[in-house]
Amino acid sequence: MSLSLAGVIGAAIGLYIGWLDWKILKGILQATEMKNRRAGGDGGLVARHKALLGAVIFGVPVIGFPVIGYLAASSLAG
């Protein structure tokens, strides 16, 4: 399997979009946890499953988006 330049560019764009998505989702989770703690709770679901949610939120965008970007760019470029 040979790498195409269009695919590599698509993967780089997908990585950037995945990184942005990861930062946004990470901020949302932190805000949700802090809101639950301020309300007098223990942090809720986010605090209890922080490691698993962090891994999923990191893995899906940062690994999945570059793969999708590579495949889409390769198929569009020929």
Which CA distances in Å does 30 have to 8, 11, 22, 45, 71?
A: 33, 28, 12, 12, 32
Q: Would you kindly state where each structural domain of the chain is located, as residue ranges?
A: 27-78
The string of pLDDT tens digits covering residues 42-73 is 777 888 888 898 889 889 999 999 999 999 99
Q: How far apart are CA 43 and CA 17, in angstroms?
A: 29
* CA separation for the pair 53, 14 (Å, rounded): 21
CA distance 64 to 74: 15
pTM check: above 0.85? no
